[in-house]
Amino acid sequence: MAKNKPKKKRWWSYLGDAYRVSKKTYPWAPWGILGGFLLGVVIGVIGAVTTRQWIIWILMGIFMGITLALLVLVQLVKRASYAQIDGVPGAVGAVLGNIKRGWVIEQEPVRFNARTQDMVYRAIGRPGIVLIAEGPANRVNRLLNDERKAIKRVAPSAPVQVVKVGHDDGQVPIDKLEKHIKRLPKVMSHDEVAAVSARMKAIPTNSLPIPKGIDPFNVRPDRRAMRG
């Protein structure tokens, strides 16, 4: 007897999931969403009173209210997703997975300390080679230096930038990481990005001492919600 295929989730199911995630992290989320809806309705009422075009402006107000409520929900679920993975090993990898266009990103850490679970990820884009360190600011320096040396051997002229993720001075919070990386100054052309990426393949990453049983990618946020 053939097994029944699981039913495909409808769009309202995703909305429900997003709402529950937001409310779990932010108990005031329902009020924020309601506030967005009411703001749109108020704008519609003001437009109707001003222009005397009641039907058009009331409908526009309802549409704007729904749109604003959804925008509030999207932002809340994005922030909630980041809050849930903040401090979890592998959180940086989850965020980097959302950065696609124009970047070549290693899905696994290129440097890893099995004892402390500190990690270094590598992303290559027009800002150059960006090393993203996950762990206490001072403790990750050794991993960063090891990766810098490896890069210098295969691409000595490639620009290297370092981003440390965390809440210490000089670090970037996990919820600001994606925006921070996208705002880095661009110093390479697309052709140079491709050339540097090809050279980086010469650096072995499959012999990292990641112990069995530790999966730095085990906890991931809802990417559909985080993309907005």
Instruction: Name the domain count of the chain.
Output: 2
Last residue of a domain, one of 25, 56, 85: 85
Q: Is residue 172 part of a domain?
A: yes
Domain identity same for 108 and 65: no
Q: How far apart are CA 90 and CA 75, in angstroms?
A: 22
Q: How far apart are CA 185 and CA 127, in angstroms?
A: 6
Domain identity same for 33 and 80: yes
Domain identity same for 63 and 114: no
Domain identity same for 41 and 73: yes
List, for the chain, all residue ranges whose pLDDT scores fall below the cut of 70: 1-9, 204-228
Per-residue pLDDT reduced to its tens digit, 59-114 = 999 999 999 999 999 888 888 888 888 888 888 888 888 888 889 988 889 999 88
Residues 6+ away with beta carbon under 8 Å from 135: 113, 116, 117, 118, 119, 143, 166
Domain identity same for 75 and 48: yes
pLDDT given at position 205: 61
Write out the residue range of the structural domain in which residue 70 sits.
Answer: 13-85
Alpha helices in 26-53 (DSSP H): 29-51
Domain identity same for 154 and 190: yes
Place of tokens 């590598």: 122
Domain identity same for 98 and 159: yes
Domain identity same for 54 and 117: no
Last residue of a domain, one of 85, 110, 131: 85
Q: Is residue 6 part of a domain?
A: no
Q: How far is CA 204 from CA 78, 106, 125, 151, in A?
A: 34, 12, 20, 11
Domain identity same for 101 and 194: yes
pLDDT given at position 3: 53
Domain identity same for 37 and 98: no
Q: Is residue 209 part of a domain?
A: no
pLDDT given at position 7: 65
The beta strands (E) that lie in 88-205 are given as: 104-105, 111-112, 119-125, 128-134, 160-165
Domain identity same for 168 and 105: yes
Q: Is residue 216 part of a domain?
A: no
Last residue of a domain, one of 85, 115, 146: 85
Domain identity same for 77 and 115: no
pLDDT given at position 9: 67
